[in-house]
Amino acid sequence: MLKEERQNVILHEVNLHNKVLTTHLVERLNVSEDTIRRDLNELADAGRIIKVHGGALSRSFHNSFNITDIYSLPEKKRIAQKAIGLIQDGMFVFTTGGTTILEMARALPPQLRATFFTGSLPAAFEYLQHPHIEVILIGDRLSKSSRITVGGGAIAQIRQVKADLCFLGTNAIDIHAGLTDNDLDVVQVKKAMVESASKVVSLAISEKINTAQRLKVCNATDIDILITELDPLDELLAPYRDAGMEVH
C-alpha cells in the first residue's frame, strides 16, 4: 500500500471513531509501528489530525466545543430522528458522548420534558439549549480525548440512577464481539450506564456494524434497540434482528 493510500485509511479511521490507537493501525495496515508513527507525524504536521500518546484524535471533534464538522452527518441526522421517537415526557435518560448523540440532542422536540444524565460536555451544552430539558452533569475526572467525565465518582453517580433509556454512542458493534470501544475509561462509564438502564439503545452508522475494537462494553444481547440510518429490514442487520434485537 502506498503512503498516500495508507494515510487516507488512517484519516478515515480517525474520522469514523474520533480516536484511533497506534496498535490498531499497525494491525489494520500490517506495517511497523515506526511507519505508523511517521504517518501520524506527517498528518499532524499537515493539520489533519491531533497526535497524542499512543494514537491520534480527530481535529473536527476535539478543536471546537460547538462541534459542527461531523463525519457522515446525513446518516447521523437520520439516526437522531429515529432515536428521539423513543423518548417520552418524564423519562430519565442516560447518554454517552459522540457526534451521533450530539445530533440527537439537537433534534429533540422543544415541547419534550425529560431529565438527561450525561458526562459529555458537548452533549450537556446541547441539552442546555433546550427549553424544558433538565440536565444533570455526571462529574469526575474529565477525559481530554473523549470530552466525557470518567472515573469512580462518575460510575458511582450513574449507579444511583435507574434510567428509562440509555443511548450509547457506538464505536463498534458486532453480533459476536458485542459492543466494543478503544478507551478503557469510557468503557467503564458505558458499562455502568448499561447496567443501570431499563432499556439500552445503540446508535451506530452502518460503517460501524460488524466491526470490533479491543475493549468490550457489553454483549450484543445486552442491547435492546439498534438504530442505524439503514432500512430496518436491510440484510446487513439480519443477524441483529435474529438475535432478538429491536432494529430501527
How far apart, in whole angstroms, are the C-alpha atoms of residue 100 and residue 106?
10
Strand partners for 133: none
Q: Within a domain: residue 198?
A: yes
Q: What per-residue confidence (pLDDT) applies to 66?
A: 55
User: What is the tens place of the pLDDT at every residue in 44-85?
Assistant: 888 888 888 888 888 766 555 555 567 789 999 999 999 999
Which CATH number belongs to the domain containing residue 34 in this structure? 1.10.10.10
Q: Within a domain: residue 40?
A: yes
Q: Within a domain: residue 157?
A: yes
Q: Within a domain: residue 67?
A: no
Q: Within a domain: residue 110?
A: yes
How far apart, in whole angstroms, are the C-alpha atoms of residue 107 and residue 130?
10
User: What is the tens place of the pLDDT at every residue in 153-204?
Assistant: 999 999 999 999 999 999 999 999 999 998 899 999 999 999 999 999 999 9
Structural domain range at position 243? 73-247
Q: What per-residue confidence (pLDDT) applies to 137?
A: 94
The reply to whether 14 and 130 lie within a common domain is no
Q: Within a domain: residue 68?
A: no
User: What is the tens place of the pLDDT at every residue in 121-143?
Assistant: 989 999 999 999 999 999 888 88
CB distance 169 to 208 below 8 Å:
no
Give the rounded distance of the alpha carbon of 157 from its chain centre.
Answer: 20
- Kindly state the helix (H) or strand (E) to which residue 107 belongs, with its residue range: helix 99-107
Cell of 90: 418524564
Cell of 70: 461531523
Extended strands (E) in 204-242 = 215-218, 225-227
Among residues 32, 62, 92, the one where a domain terminates is 62
The reply to whether 83 and 196 lie within a common domain is yes
The reply to whether 30 and 108 lie within a common domain is no
The reply to whether 166 and 47 lie within a common domain is no
Which CATH number belongs to the domain containing residue 215 in this structure? 3.40.50.10470
Cell of 185: 475509561
How far apart, in whole angstroms, are the C-alpha atoms of residue 143 and residue 98?
13
Residue 244: pLDDT band with limits 50, 70, 90: very high
The model's pTM: 0.84
Q: Within a domain: residue 15?
A: yes
The reply to whether 200 and 125 lie within a common domain is yes
Q: Within a domain: residue 29?
A: yes
The reply to whether 20 and 126 lie within a common domain is no
CB distance 15 to 58 below 8 Å:
yes
Phi, psi of 231 (to 5 degrees): -60, 135
User: What is the tens place of the pLDDT at every residue in 95-129?
Assistant: 998 899 999 999 999 999 999 999 999 899 999 99
The reply to whether 42 and 126 lie within a common domain is no
Q: Quote the number of domains for the chain.
A: 2
The reply to whether 115 and 231 lie within a common domain is yes
Extended strands (E) in 59-106 = 92-95
| Cβ count near 39 (within 10 Å) | 22
Q: What is the mean pLDDT of residues 231-236?
A: 97
The rounded mean pLDDT for the chain is: 91
> Which residues contact residue 95 at a Cβ distance below 8 angstroms, ignoring those fewer than 6 apart?
101, 104, 105, 116, 117, 118, 120, 123, 166, 167, 169
The reply to whether 58 and 106 lie within a common domain is no
User: What is the tens place of the pLDDT at every residue in 7-42?
Assistant: 888 888 888 877 888 988 998 888 998 999 999 999
Taken as a whole, the chain contains a residue count of 248
